[in-house]
Amino acid sequence: MDTKKVALISTMTAMYVVLSYLPGFPVIGASGARIGIISGIAPLYGFILGPTIGMSVTLLGAFINRVLTGASLFEWLTLPSMPISAFIAGALSRDRVNGLSGWKISAAILTILIATWYVTYVGRAVPLFAVLHWAGLINILLLRSKLARLFHSGLKRNLALSILLCSYTATVTSHMYGCLAFILAAELLIISTSDLPSLFTMLIPIATFERLTFTAISTTIGVPLVSTLKNILPKTAEGDKTPSRPSKSN
């Protein structure tokens, strides 16, 4: 990597750690845990650095934050949440990730998480909770590689639309992982809670508000930030190029 990339990665890692201290929403049922505003910023790491580096930087930043704050065991279980968000955002905004279609990788990850939700007794009892996540999966399957083409089109309105849709999908994907981690923590008695189906039913409107808020944060900050950095550092990360004409496989 050249000097610009190293400087940007180092700066963004430090920035992630600092931003992790911003207030957020409390995790109902897990005392002391919260969903920070960083949830609305994590997708930007994928947009700017690409899926692999963006995921790695958010993972490192989240790890450092947990060490510094003396995180609970439940918070350690949720460590992959933000890296997943960054990866999905980066993959959807790239034509290819290690030779594979970014949208296919993203769809596979979200599909596995949704399927796992329905394997749990909570998921079977509250099937409607996954509506937000189904919407994210449908978004991927309908638009596919068009999300990457919009991201690289050069038109600000197309960039804004791509960031909006990619951020939403990245946010609900990380959210589904967090929900599964919560169920696992309850089963392992890491957190003390009862009647999980009723709890998740109550959380449907709250989760909807939170995910839409984080999507709005990603879009509001992301559009001007990505526009600026694409001009300054056009080769910031792997796979950062304008996709060619759509192929039949897309």
Residues 86/54, Cβ–Cβ less than 8 Å: yes
The region of weakest confidence among 28-37, 40-49, 58-67, 83-92 is: 28-37
In this prediction, residues 82-105 reach a mean pLDDT of: 94
Q: Is residue 178 part of a domain?
A: yes
Looking at the chain, list the stretches that DSSP marks H as alpha helix, in order from N- to C-terminal side. 3-19, 42-49, 51-69, 73-77, 81-92, 102-119, 121-125, 131-143, 146-151, 156-187, 196-232
159 within 8 A of 229, measured Cβ to Cβ: no
pLDDT digits (tens, 9 = 90+) for 183-204: 999 999 888 887 899 999 999 9
Residue 65 CB partners (closer than 8 Å, separation 6+): 16, 17, 20, 21, 71
- Range with the poorest average pLDDT among 4-8, 63-67, 136-140, 215-219: 4-8
DSSP 146-191: HHHHHHTSS-HHHHHHHHHHHHHHHHHHHHHHHHHHHHHHHHTTSS
Residue 237 lies in a domain: no
Higher pLDDT, 178 or 10: 178
Per residue in 112-150, pLDDT tens?
Answer: 999 999 999 999 999 999 999 999 999 999 999 999 999
Share of the chain above pLDDT 70, in %: 90
* 121 in any annotated domain: yes
Closest to 75 measured CA to CA, from 87, 59, 62: 62
Give residue 193's identity as a one-letter amino acid code. T
Domain of 203, in residue numbers: 3-232
d(CA 79, CA 71): 10
Answer whether residue 247 is part of any domain: no
Indicate the number of domains in the chain. 1
Q: Is residue 26 part of a domain?
A: yes
